[in-house]
A and B are shown apart, each in its own frame.
Chain A
Amino acid sequence: MDLSPKQSSPSESTRFPDEVLERVLALLTSPKDRNAVSLVCKDWYTADSWSRRHVFIGNCYSVSPEIVARRFPRIRSVTLKGKPRFSDFNLVPDNWGADVHSWLLVFASGCPFLEELRLKRMRVTDESLEFLALNFPNFRALSLLSCDGFSTSGLATVATHCKNLTELDIQENGIEDLSGDWLSCFPENFNTLEVLNFSNLITDVNPGVLERLVSRCRSLKVLKLNRTSSLDRLQRLLVSAPQLTELGAGSFSEELTLQQHAELKYAFGLCKNLSVLSGFWDASALNLSAVYPACSRLSFLNMSYTALQSPELASLLPHCPCLRRLWVLDSVGDKGLEAVGANCPSLEEIRVFPTDPFDEDMLHTVTESGIVAVSQGCPKLHYILYFCRQMTNAAVATVVRNCPDFTHFRLCIMNPGQPDHTTNQPMDEAFGAVVKACKKLKRLSISGLLTDLTFKYIGEYAKNLEALSVAFAGSSDLGMQYVMEGCSKLKKLEIRDCPFGNVALLSGLERYESMRSLWMSACNVTIDGCRSLAREMPRLNVEVMKEEGSDDCKADKVYVYRTVAGPRRDAPPSVLTFSGL
Chain B
Amino acid sequence: MEGGVAYENGLNFKATELTLGLPGSGETEGQGGVRNNNKRPMPTPETNEEERMLCRAQIVGWPPIRSYRKNSLQAKNSEGEASGMYVKVSMDGAPYLRKIDLKVYRDYPELLKALEAMFKFAAGVYSEREGYKGSEYVPTYEDKDGDWMLVGDVPWDMFMSSCKRLRIMKGSEARGLGCGV
**Which residues of A does B touch, CB under 8 Å?**
86, 88-91, 146, 172-174, 200, 281-282, 304-305, 353-363, 387, 389-390, 412, 414-419, 421, 424, 449, 469, 471-472, 496-497
Cβ-closest chain B residue relative to A145? B68
Of the A-B pairs whose beta carbons lie under 8 Å apart in the complex, a sample of 16, sorted by A's number, is: A90-B61, A90-B67, A146-B66, A172-B68, A174-B68, A357-B63, A362-B36, A363-B38, A415-B55, A416-B59, A416-B62, A417-B43, A417-B51, A417-B55, A418-B40, A497-B54
CA distance A491 to B57 in the complex (A): 32
Question: B66 to A88, Cβ gap below 8 A?
Answer: yes
For B59-94 the 0/1 string (1 means CB < 8 A from A) is 111111111111011001000000000000000000
Question: A472 to B61, Cβ gap below 8 A?
Answer: no
Question: A91 to B41, Cβ gap below 8 A?
Answer: no
B172 CB within 8 Å of chain A: no
B35 CB within 8 Å of chain A: yes
Q: How far is the CB of A471 from chain B (nearest CB, A)?
A: 7
B129 CB within 8 Å of chain A: no
Interface of B, helix, strand, loop or mixed by DSSP:
loop
- Chain A residues lying within 8 Å of B58, measured Cβ to Cβ, are 358
CA distance A272 to B58 in the complex (A): 46
CA distance A359 to B70 in the complex (A): 13
- Chain B residues lying within 8 Å of A363, measured Cβ to Cβ, are 36, 38
CA distance A199 to B110 in the complex (A): 35
Question: A449 to B76, Cβ gap below 8 A?
Answer: no
Partner of A354, one of B59, B61, B65: B65
For B28-47 the 0/1 string (1 means CB < 8 A from A) is 00000001101111011001
Partner of B66, one of A172, A354, A414: A172
CA distance A472 to B55 in the complex (A): 11
Question: A390 to B40, Cβ gap below 8 A?
Answer: yes
Partner of A387, one of B43, B47, B63: B63
- Given A305-B72, A357-B70, A361-B36, is A418 in contact with B64 using a C-beta cutoff of 8 Å? no
Question: B67 to A91, Cβ gap below 8 A?
Answer: no
Question: B70 to A418, Cβ gap below 8 A?
Answer: no
CA distance A578 to B72 in the complex (A): 38
- Chain B residues lying within 8 Å of A174, measured Cβ to Cβ, are 67-68
CA distance A64 to B87 in the complex (A): 60
Q: How far is the CB of B51 from chain A (nearest CB, A)?
A: 5
Partner of B64, one of A361, A412, A449: A412
Question: A417 to B64, Cβ gap below 8 A?
Answer: no
Cβ-closest chain B residue relative to A419? B44
- Chain B residues lying within 8 Å of A357, measured Cβ to Cβ, are 63, 65, 70, 73
Question: B40 to A415, Cβ gap below 8 A?
Answer: yes
- Chain A residues lying within 8 Å of B72, measured Cβ to Cβ, are 281, 305
Partner of A361, one of B38, B70, B76: B38
Interface residues on B, range: 20 to 34
- Chain B residues lying within 8 Å of A419, measured Cβ to Cβ, are 43-44
Partner of B43, one of A354, A359, A418: A418
Partner of B61, one of A91, A281, A304, A356: A91
CA distance A417 to B52 in the complex (A): 9
Question: B61 to A353, Cβ gap below 8 A?
Answer: no
Which 6 pairs show the lowest CB-CB distances between chains A and B?
A89-B61, A172-B68, A88-B66, A414-B63, A91-B61, A361-B36
- Chain B residues lying within 8 Å of A282, measured Cβ to Cβ, are 76
Partner of B51, one of A86, A172, A281, A416: A416
Q: How far is the CB of B15 from chain A (nearest CB, A)?
A: 25
- Given A389-B40, A472-B54, is A146 in contact with B68 using a C-beta cutoff of 8 Å? yes
- Chain B residues lying within 8 Å of A416, measured Cβ to Cβ, are 51, 54-55, 59, 62
For B1-44 the 0/1 string (1 means CB < 8 A from A) is 00000000000000000000000000000000001101111011
CA distance A449 to B51 in the complex (A): 10
CA distance A358 to B70 in the complex (A): 10
- Chain B residues lying within 8 Å of A356, measured Cβ to Cβ, are 73
CA distance A415 to B54 in the complex (A): 9
Question: B76 to A281, Cβ gap below 8 A?
Answer: yes
- Chain B residues lying within 8 Å of A418, measured Cβ to Cβ, are 40, 43, 55
CA distance A215 to B69 in the complex (A): 31
Question: A89 to B62, Cβ gap below 8 A?
Answer: yes
- Chain A residues lying within 8 Å of B51, measured Cβ to Cβ, are 416-417, 472
Question: B43 to A89, Cβ gap below 8 A?
Answer: no
Question: A412 to B61, Cβ gap below 8 A?
Answer: no
- Chain A residues lying within 8 Å of B55, measured Cβ to Cβ, are 415-418
Question: A173 to B68, Cβ gap below 8 A?
Answer: yes
Cβ-closest chain B residue relative to A494? B64
Question: A89 to B64, Cβ gap below 8 A?
Answer: yes
Question: A86 to B61, Cβ gap below 8 A?
Answer: yes
Cβ-closest chain A residue relative to B58? A358
Cβ-closest chain A residue relative to B44? A424
CA distance A354 to B41 in the complex (A): 18
Q: How far is the CB of B48 from chain A (nearest CB, A)?
A: 9
